[in-house]
Chain A
């Protein structure tokens, strides 16, 4: 009956990821409010008008719920259910109910006083019910809804979660959708799936959505396979990748590729032997494997002595005694180190791209996608997916039209997805009152072997 196929062992490293540690990026979730913070001991944060420190979270499992008392977090069991505070009395409809402020006898000061005295959430709600003239006249459903609303307002409980793509996408989509080019979760989901993003694939991503797509791709690769992040400007802007707190091994596989280098990549075609361009900076033997840009940042922060700089800095040893000069020398040598590192990484990226075995090309940027896709498609292996995202159907259609003309793809599809959420409650089931108006458009297609003309 059952087949025998041994399950894989879960990494030790992975199990240790489930407890909250200092230095972690952590998401605090209260109802629909989702915010991200870095856990630093003795450092206060603000959430929902309450100031407190995150120390109390350290050591607990992610997914634990906490309540704030006197500026500190305390772990609690899950919050009470609405049904627990409802009494037997209820009304049948709202024909005699009037919406007046005087319905509630407790004032805001009374409630604040109770909170200060350390009253539990359930007690506060019960007091509110006691002091409401209309509560007992509400229907059972109205009572539940009322209690739910009061809980949201007065019970300061929240859950600490480990950041992942799903939560980051949700957070940004609710708070700053423009920063992620309005990519909705179902659109991002389609991008990852149609792109066949998985371990051992090499993915080229054009991302100007705060690193959401790069982060999602890194998560799906799990450290296996390389990511090439094409970005405008000198340095990529991807706060979401930082929030996702990937281990160094993942980031070592992430290459930055500024747009301004694309032309030089194109001109290096046919010269695949001497790709490693030694004209950028001194050619100094590097130590060990290439470092990612996070390590470069660490270099900048902490590096004073060790460097791979040129000999010019060592000749100034006589200035060692002067602290200002020493600091300046250190800064210069880290700048040198960074420059060399940067050009080394770039050369590596170029060499890899010129192999033309990219397994997936994803474009999700504010730029016109057509020149990006027609240029970068050169580096994609045959029979591989490409995915182009735009908030605007016209942009996707334009890319489609140009690619059709070039004739290098099959299995085209221009599409959008429609997402609707539902409230599921007995006798109260219906779609949610509000829904997303749009989640953007996708062009998906599969590359083929280019015909030799």
Chain B
């Protein structure tokens, strides 16, 4: 199987992504006779071999989908050996470094090879990635993974401390990426590695002090258009919301109050979310008011057209909303880009 090129059917030794549900995926390597335990029961590898990617596969207590491993799915499911770069940052890096087929890229440190996989995908078939990692086992693991994913032709992994010994490359790279604790130690060597006709460089650092030093180093060495950016992602949960209208009268306490399903009349605002439905639910009809003769609570109220962004009944205002609740990633790292122009 290859992260470089799609193919249709699952084969032995493929890495596949099992999709069980929202935020529930696993990457597994297919081996005849193996079994993978899921919350829906056992999944036999033999049952998957030969199926089409994208198929639904049944397990004793449920089903899941077999997805083709794109670099994005791989990034979300790879075994972490270090903190990794996620797709949001990877996207910006790929874009700002002008990656495309034929580009030659130099990277250090390889880490868990999350970004590496993405880079290779973007520069193949005629580009190349030279990636450097100072930790021996991590370098080896990255190499194994590239081999498993049929990417070896496009990448050279070197076990080396580039801050001490440099890249030992000259006039080869269109782009350099640095994710190092002390990037300014590697920047001079990175400059040498870049092509004489010019190129782009990026340094990723979590701390602003590192960024300051790196920028000073870039400026000193003649890099231009030095720019530091930060990119964060915000996900939305799409749900139907029912906001009950408050009652401005008191209820007769002796009358029984029918509790319909979906009625959130007495609950907290926090519980105002209904189950997700594609269409607006009519289940929000609620108890009638005490005084009116005609029960018009389920009728849609007469509102001016321009005001109409949801559905209003006497009891509720319903609409579909994209909600961001709780926490979101607030910081991954600062991305500093610069250009080296030809002399």
Contact = CB atoms under 8 A, between A and B. Distances in A.
A359 interface: yes
B71 A382 contact: no
B56 to A, nearest CB: 7
A343 B232 CA distance: 45
A61 B229 contact: no
Contact of B126 (A5, A11, A18, A424): A11
B299 interface: no
A253 interface: no
Is the interface on chain A under 10, 10 to 19, 20 to 34, or 35 or more residues?
Answer: 35 or more
Interface string A396-407: 111011101100
A401 B224 contact: no
A189 B100 contact: no
Interface stretch (B151-159, B182-190, B251-259, B290-298): B151-159
A153 B239 CA distance: 52
Contact of B56 (A185, A420, A447, A449): A449
A424 B218 CA distance: 12
* Of listed A165, A382, A384, A397, residue having the most chain B CB within 10 A: A382
B65 A414 contact: no
B53 interface: yes
Given A383-B66, A448-B65, A185 B320 contact: no
B97 to A, nearest CB: 9
B306 interface: no
Contacts of A199: 101, 124-125
Given A64-B342, A222-B101, A3 B143 contact: yes
B336 interface: yes
B341 A78 contact: yes
Contact of A185 (B70, B95, B278, B342): B95
B92 interface: yes
A126 interface: no
A198 interface: yes
A451 interface: yes
Contacts of B211: 422, 424, 429
Interface string A306-327: 0000000000000000000000
Interface residues of B, number: 86
Given A10-B104, A426-B216, A62 B334 contact: no
Interface string A359-385: 100000000000000000000011111
Interface in A164-199: 164-166, 185-186, 188-190, 192-194, 196, 198-199
Given A196-B72, A419-B229, 14 more contacts: A3-B143, A3-B156, A5-B155, A10-B102, A11-B126, A14-B102, A64-B342, A78-B222, A186-B92, A188-B95, A193-B94, A198-B122, A222-B102, A222-B126
Interface of A: 1-5, 7-11, 14-15, 18, 61-65, 77-78, 159, 164-166, 185-186, 188-190, 192-194, 196, 198-201, 219-224, 359, 381-385, 393, 396-398, 400-402, 404-405, 410-422, 424-426, 429, 441, 446-449, 451
11 contacts: A3-B143, A61-B198, A63-B339, A78-B224, A166-B98, A192-B95, A198-B101, A220-B100, A383-B67, A401-B278, A415-B236
